[in-house]
Structure 1
Amino acid sequence: MLIPYDHLEADTLTRLIEDFVTRDGTDNGDETPLQTRVERVRHALGKKQAFIVFDPESQQCTLMLKHDIAPELFD
């Protein structure tokens, strides 16, 4: 299930993005400041290049690039 990013409260969205960009394996040695990484994700969400995906089974949200999402989720 896709969750529109603009339906989340600003603080909730920020915490979700921060959690995503600080997960193990996401920095790959990148020393870009946290705020810059958060803004990059916000930009990708705004441009519909990335989406928030909710998995009802695990009750977890994650951020995914559009090309990694099953096409049927966009129907």
Structure 2
Amino acid sequence: MLIPYHLLEADTLDRLLEDFVTRDGTDNGDETPLVTRVERARHALHKGQAVIVFDAESQQCQLALKSEVPREWLEE
């Protein structure tokens, strides 16, 4: 299920983005400051390049590139 980012409270979105950019495997040795990585993720959401995916089974949210989610999810 896709969650429209603009429906989240600002603090919730901030925490989600921070969690995503600090997960294992997301930095790849990148020493870019946390605030910059969060803003890059936020910008991708605003531009429609990324989406928030909620998995009901695991009760977890992920950020994904829009091009990587099933087309039918985008049409719902």
**TM bracket (short chain):** over 0.9
Which digits, 9 at most, give the CA deviation of each residue in 1:1-33, with x for residues without a partner?
110001000010000000000001110000000
TM-score, normalised to structure 1, is 0.97
Q: Find runs of 4+ consecutive structure 1 residues off by over 6 angstroms.
A: none
What do you get for the CA RMSD once the two structures are aligned?
0.6
Q: C-alpha distance in 1, partners of 2:25/2:54?
A: 21
Q: C-alpha distance in 2, partners of 1:56/1:74?
A: 17
Aligned length in residues = 75
User: Match for residue 56 of structure 2?
Assistant: 56
Percent identity for Structure 1 against Structure 2: 73
TM-score, normalised to structure 2, is 0.96
Measured after TM superposition, the shift of residue 57 of structure 1 is: 1.2
Q: Which stretches in structure 2 are left out of the alignment for 5+ residues?
A: none
